[in-house]
Amino acid sequence: MSLQRIVVSGTGAGVGKTVFCAGLVSLLGAKFWKPVQAGVEGEIDSERVARLASLPLDRIVPERYRLPAIVSPDCSSEIDEVRINIDSLDVPDPGAYPLVIEGAGGLMDPLNCGSLYIDVLERWRLPVVLCAGTSLGMVNCALLSIEALRRRQLDILGIAFVGEKNSGAVRAICEIGRVRWLGRLPWIAPLSADTLQAAFRASFRHDDFKP
């Protein structure tokens, strides 16, 4: 049986995908890969995941593209005069480990002038976990993202929420979107490997991430 390979995408930038990925990597004992990193000053996303998941460096798959500017990948690549070729984003062989792949921004964010991130997901045909915030307006963003995934006939493992409790909105998304609720990761302070891993294990079940 092949090992798990899961894509973590989001309803947009800033919803907590990287912290969620760190918790999921730890839960599954997985490797981590973020194919496109926009912004390389300070701690980048793969380094944050390694720290919060207590992950050895050999379980971080190097990015295919590291773009210095902290803007969307298409803008960052234009600034640096680098074109992101989606044909170069083949999923690496994770060896003896599951693999968690973090997308950049939201599903409809462009990687270049002609390709969206969801185009890459359509090529991969891997199961997707959708991360959503719990703030005002997230119902619309979440339902649009679910519809976009379904239009491409992509397998949605479920939706994971990050933030404060918002039961009414969460119920509306799961019922209207006909998508499985995986759990909710609350804001964690202080955020460390120990506090994240404890909160993640209290909020999510390993078996729910089986394809």
- Among residues 31, 34, 165, 210, the one annotated as catalytic is 34
User: For residues 19 and 193, what is the distance between their CA atoms, to the nearest angstrom?
Assistant: 10
Count other Cβ atoms within 10 Å, centred on residue 24: 28
Residue whose structure tokens are 């995986």: 182
User: For residues 132 and 13, what is the distance between their CA atoms, to the nearest angstrom?
Assistant: 10
User: For residues 175 and 154, what is the distance between their CA atoms, to the nearest angstrom?
Assistant: 19
Q: Is 165 noted as a catalytic residue in this protein?
A: no
User: For residues 20 and 39, what is the distance between their CA atoms, to the nearest angstrom?
Assistant: 19
The CA-based angle 127-19-133, given to 5 degrees, is 75
Q: Which residues pair with 5 in a beta bridge?
A: 99
Active site residues: 34
